[in-house]
């Protein structure tokens, strides 16, 4: 998926997450936040031409293992904030979406880290365009 198209998707997912959160739907908000972070990792991995992109193409899909390896590669280029944001997103994916054990405040406290990853992604993708 092209970088700018992916940014549109990421922004839509973030908007949906906020809307679900306002309605008190923790499960859907958690999943939308996770998906927005996942799309950031994919977009950044494509941007930096990480090996995991080719591996995902060969498999026909991204796996958790490939996403984790991509996060490590991105952290080397962009800093530890990528890992922190990804960890928060994963927490929401497991405990907010799959297990449905979180409350609104648990989601709200993790949202800024994911928003930061989104901003980093947008800045990275747009600052290197010719």
Residue 128 has pLDDT above 60, yes or no: no
Alpha helix segments (H runs only) across 26-103: 26-47, 51-59, 64-78, 81-91
Range with lowest mean pLDDT among 5-9, 20-24, 91-95: 5-9
Residue 53 has pLDDT above 90, yes or no: yes
Instruction: Write the CATH number of the domain with boundaries 3-127.
Output: 1.20.120.330
Residue 114 has pLDDT above 60, yes or no: yes
Residue 67 has pLDDT above 90, yes or no: yes
Length of the chain: 130
34 vs 29: CA distance, rounded Å: 9
Two tokens at 32?
């939308």
112: helix, strand or coil: helix
28 vs 16: CA distance, rounded Å: 9
Would you kindly state where each structural domain of the chain is located, as residue ranges?
A: 3-127
Q: What would the mean pLDDT of 14-29 be, rounded to a whole number?
A: 97
The closest of 103, 127, 91, 117 to 10, measured between CA atoms, is 117
Asked if 96 and 31 touch (Cβ cutoff 8 Å), the reply is yes
């Amino acid at each position: 998926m092209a970088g700018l198209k992916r940014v549109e998707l990421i922004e839509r997912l973030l908007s949906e997450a906020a809307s679900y959160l306002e309605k008190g739907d923790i499960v859907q908000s958690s999943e939308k936040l996770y998906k927005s972070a996942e799309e950031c990792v994919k977009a950044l991995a494509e941007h930096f031409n990480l090996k995991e992109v080719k591996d995902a193409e060969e498999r026909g899909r991204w796996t958790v293992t490939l996403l984790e390896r991509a996060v490590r590669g991105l952290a080397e280029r962009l800093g530890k904030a990528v890992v922190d944001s990804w960890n928060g997103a994963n927490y929401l994916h497991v405990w907010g979406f799959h297990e449905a054990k979180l409350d609104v405040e648990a989601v709200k406290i993790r949202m800024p880290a994911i928003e930061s990853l989104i901003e980093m992604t947008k800045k990275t993708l747009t600052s290197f365009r010719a």
